[in-house]
């Protein structure tokens, strides 16, 4: 969609749902000087990028390093989680004017995008087809792909990205810093490709964290810092891109899971030991 002919999203629809453009019933009040404002102005022609973490995946539950070899798509619970999100989006219409849909090349993200797609287009119009980009994949595991974490530790030891974020996870794989910078570069390319448009990306917890490290003023964000966040399955993280400035409008929005018994997006699967399966040294599943 040409940004010049696209829908005016200022003050309604998407912006109302993100809390932007609100004012008093009597009309807008005088604004404080720009240099001291704590709320940035609404940028009607900005690009909006919504990152959607996939639903629970088979590799999350089985404790497998889920690259292209190890990923077997979503569990039934994961599909239910994404369906709950799709139903929310269909009801609110908050992303119905989506101009572009992307996913990583991993089955769990591809499946997530396919479930969401019908809620991203107006009723009676074709659902968007996801463009698959490896740049939105989780950290590339190299030779660790498809191994369970016990076998991983036996073959490759226990890398610690808190002390050495430049160490690759396994031969042929990425380091933490390499991963964060790869995601940062790909986000920039997509933002430049879609000026003034609304973009939805089905991706991974690591991609969400990498976006925060790259686009917020975090010391060492591109040099090895880590947040160790607990991003929910089938949750939304929303960015507004205005020129070179990236503004975080929302992180980890999983309100649609409230009251959805059995499909909540905020719990991690457990392995046979009763402990969550974690990527070695990361505090989050490679998911």
pLDDT tens digits for 154-169? 999 999 999 999 999 9
Whether residue 94 contacts residue 13, with contact meaning beta carbons closer than 8 Å, is answered with yes
**Backbone φ, ψ for residue 24 (5° rounding):** -80, 160
| pLDDT of the residue at 24 | 54
| pLDDT for res 28 | 64
* pLDDT at 23 (0 to 100): 52
Burial of residue 281 (CB within 10 Å: 0-12, 13-18, 19+) is middle
Average pLDDT, the chain: 85
Say if pTM beats, i.e. exceeds, 0.85.
Answer: no
pLDDT at 77: 96
Query: For the chain, what percent of residues have pLDDT higher than 90?
Result: 71
Q: What is the pLDDT of residue 59?
A: 96
pLDDT category, 175, cuts 50, 70, 90? very high
Q: Look at residue 282 and tell me whether its pLDDT is greater than 50.
A: no
The token pair that represents 13 in the structure block: 């629809």
pLDDT tens digits, one per residue of 205-222: 999 999 999 999 999 999
| Per-residue pLDDT at 266 | 55
Q: What pLDDT, in 10s, does the model give residues 51-92?
A: 999 999 999 999 999 999 999 999 999 999 999 999 999 999
pLDDT of residue 26: 61
Dihedrals φ, ψ of 49, to 5°?
Answer: -120, 120
Q: Please say whether the beta carbons of 66 and 287 come within 8 A.
A: yes
Q: Are strands 198-203 and 47-53 parallel, antiparallel or unpaired?
A: parallel
What is the DSSP pairing of strand 100-103 with strand 245-253? unpaired
- Residue 178 pLDDT more than 60? yes
Contact 179, 89 (CB under 8 A): no
Structural domains in the chain plus CATH codes:
45-254 (3.40.50.1240)
Q: What is the DSSP letter of 40?
A: P
pLDDT bracket for residue 152 (50, 70, 90): very high
């Amino acid at each position: 969609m040409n940004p010049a002919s696209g829908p005016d999203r200022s003050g309604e629809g998407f912006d109302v749902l993100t809390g932007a453009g609100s004012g008093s019933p009597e009309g807008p009040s005088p604004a404080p000087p720009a240099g001291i404002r704590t709320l940035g102005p609404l940028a009607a022609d900005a690009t909006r990028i919504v990152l959607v973490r996939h639903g629970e995946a088979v590799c999350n539950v089985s404790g497998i390093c889920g690259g292209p070899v190890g990923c077997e798509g979503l569990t039934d619970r994961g599909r239910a989680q994404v369906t709950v999100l799709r139903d929310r989006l269909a009801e609110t219409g908050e992303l119905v004017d989506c101009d572009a849909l992307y996913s990583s090349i991993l089955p769990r993200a591809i499946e997530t995008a396919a479930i969401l797609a019908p809620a991203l287009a107006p009723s009676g119009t074709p659902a968007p087809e996801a463009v698959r980009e490896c740049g939105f994949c989780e950290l590339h595991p190299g030779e660790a792909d498809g191994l369970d974490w016990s076998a991983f530790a036996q073959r490759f030891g226990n890398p610690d990205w808190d002390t050495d974020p430049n160490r690759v996870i396994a031969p042929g794989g990425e380091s933490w810093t390499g991963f964060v910078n790869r995601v940062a570069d790909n986000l920039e390319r997509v933002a430049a490709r879609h000026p003034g448009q609304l973009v939805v990306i089905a991706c991974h917890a690591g991609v969400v964290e990498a976006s925060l490290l790259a686009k917020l003023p975090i010391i060492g964000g591109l040099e090895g810092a880590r947040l160790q966040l607990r991003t929910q399955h089938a949750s939304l993280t929303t960015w507004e891109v205005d020129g070179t400035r990236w503004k975080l409008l929302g992180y980890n929005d999983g309100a649609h899971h409230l009251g959805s018994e059995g499909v909540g997006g905020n719990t991690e699967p457990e392995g046979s030991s009763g402990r969550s399966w974690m990527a070695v040294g990361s505090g989050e599943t490679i998911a």
